[in-house]
Amino acid sequence: MKTLVLAALLAGQEEPLERAFDLLSSDRVDERDRAQADLTGRADRALRAIEEQLRAAAKPEEKERLHAALEAIVGGKVLSLERVKSTRVTARFKERSLREALDDVQASAKIPIRLEGTSGPVPNQAFEGKSLDSALDLLTRQVGAYWLILGESVVVFAAGKVPIRIFDVQGLTMAFRDEPALPLDPSGGPPLPEGEWRQPLTGEDVANLVKNSVDKDRWEEADGKSIQFMNGYLIVRNEPPTLARVEAFLDTLYRKCELSVRVEVEVYLCQAGTEFGERFLAGERPEGPTLKRLAVLERRPRDKRRIALAATAKTSLLTRIDEQGRPVVQQFITGPQMNVRASLGPDRTSVSVELEAGFSKILSVARKKTDRGEIQVPEIANHVLRHAAPVPAGTWTVVGRFQGAQLDPDRTDIVILGRFTPVE
């Protein structure tokens, strides 16, 4: 009923169609103009209605019906993006030019594909039931071209002297620094200097490495071939096979530049004099009266980058009341804290480990009355160990031990185990 009312309103606003046709032959120019404008308005409204229904259509058959109506208006089949997306392609190329590769795709897709411009060989490729748009995307990307639907054909534009590709190398050129070192002092202490920023490679380094490693003799500028670094991106102009080799080289460079080490540290409290055999180092470390796990920390930092490992408790205590009678609250950071740098040896069978570890615990907090009010006085145990030595890669090793620690009255030894494994 609502539709009927709406339709009645819609119809009520318009001149009857027949009258618009009649007025086209009117003696008066303004009436002829008005009739033409009326018909144009009807055309626009009719197509807007199709567009809206197409947008709302969920079923494929509904879309097909609307497409058929549009094609009937155009006066024939039209190559649409929808059709390109739904067309499947099976093709395999080896050492072929872009033209030949496109001929193969065209034969499989049965849609005309035109090449504007010229392009050298495309890297070897195989498509199995791939959608035509994805296949075209892949092919054109490799040769720095792009494609469009123009009229009844797909047109591939391979403009310029040589193809161009943009490679994101931000991960290679981004600077990094050591993590801020932990002070290993429960009351904080003076701030430690921040690590220096290091850049694994500059943009210029990456560009030079590529030029000197990939098709060394094929970078003649006179032929339009170039490599340019800009804000974390390499803009490379060269033949498609060279571009494919640049992509593979950059992948290798990423792997080589981002060598990392799996750092696993476990800390135990144990009874004085406890000996640790091979079984303990191999992984059997059950907790019990003689053994208590104090920390398990694991990270995968870059080779040679110092990291901070901690699982701490922060306790705020009112330790002083100043001359104006204001309470001074101090924060104490206790628990295991470590600064570790693992540097892989040249053959990766050993790792040089620099480790400094601190273990602290608030043993008690006494309340003390002063003339300005009550304050808290903590008794804190703190043990710090520094170690720097090579250890075998990939095996658990005892990297430090203290005796006479005061963290636990029954277990007075602290043992630090570490395993440092190159990440493949």
Q: Report the residue number, 267 or 405, with the smaller CB distance to another protein.
A: 267
Nearest-angstrom CA–CA distance, 397 and 57 = 66
Q: Report the residue number, 197 or 217, with the smaller CB distance to another protein.
A: 197
Q: Which residues between 361 and 380 bind another protein (CB under 8 A)? A: 367, 373-376
Query: 92, 198, 314, 386: which one contacts another protein (CB under 8 A)?
Result: 314
Residue 341 Cβ vs another protein, minimum distance, rounded to whole Å: 14
Q: Report the residue number, 217 or 276, with the smaller CB distance to another protein.
A: 276
Query: Residue 57 corresponds to which tokens in the numbers above?
Result: 């259509």
Residue 260 in contact with another protein, rule: CB under 8 A: yes
Residue 344 Cβ vs another protein, minimum distance, rounded to whole Å: 12
Q: Report the residue number, 102 or 250, with the smaller CB distance to another protein.
A: 250
Q: Which residues between 194 and 223 bind another protein (CB under 8 A)? A: none
Q: Which residues between 8 and 67 bind another protein (CB under 8 A)? A: 8, 10-11, 14, 16-18, 21, 24-25, 32, 35-36, 39-40, 42-47, 49-54, 65-67
Q: Report the residue number, 190 or 273, with the smaller CB distance to another protein.
A: 190
Query: Residue 368 corresponds to which tokens in the numbers above?
Result: 């003390």
374 and 394 Cβ atoms separated by less than 8 Å: no
Q: Which residues between 378 and 407 bind another protein (CB under 8 A)? A: 394
Query: By three-state DSSP, how is residue 98 classified?
Result: helix
Nearest-angstrom CA–CA distance, 292 and 274 = 12
CB contact burial 314-341 (16+ within 10 A = b; e otherwise): ebebebebeeeeeeeeeebbbbbbbbbb
Q: Which residues between 70 and 129 bind another protein (CB under 8 A)? A: 70-75, 78-82
Residue 146 in contact with another protein, rule: CB under 8 A: yes
CB neighbourhood size of 58 (10 A): 6
Q: Report the residue number, 94 or 177, with the smaller CB distance to another protein.
A: 177
User: Which of 118-126, 173-181, 342-350, 409-417 is the region at the interface with another protein (rule: CB under 8 A)?
Assistant: 173-181
Q: Which residues between 264 and 303 bind another protein (CB under 8 A)? A: 266, 293, 295-302
User: Which of 203-211, 224-232, 351-359, 400-408 is the region at the interface with another protein (rule: CB under 8 A)?
Assistant: 224-232
Number of residues that bind another protein (CB under 8 A): 123
Query: By three-state DSSP, how is residue 95 classified?
Result: coil
Cβ-based burial of 246 (10 A; exposed 0-12, middle 13-18, buried ≥19): buried
Residue 304 in contact with another protein, rule: CB under 8 A: no
Q: Report the residue number, 93 or 332, with the smaller CB distance to another protein.
A: 332
**Short-list 369, 274, 348, 245, CA closest to 304:** 348
Query: 138, 201, 321, 381: which one contacts another protein (CB under 8 A)?
Result: 321
CB contact burial 65-102 (16+ within 10 A = b; e otherwise): ebbeeeeeeeeeeebeeebbeebebebebeebbbeebb
Residue 67 Cβ vs another protein, minimum distance, rounded to whole Å: 7
Residues ≥6 apart with Cβ < 8 Å to 4: none
Residue 206 Cβ vs another protein, minimum distance, rounded to whole Å: 12
Nearest-angstrom CA–CA distance, 173 and 171 = 6
Placement of tokens 């792997």 in the chain:
255
Nearest-angstrom CA–CA distance, 164 and 109 = 27
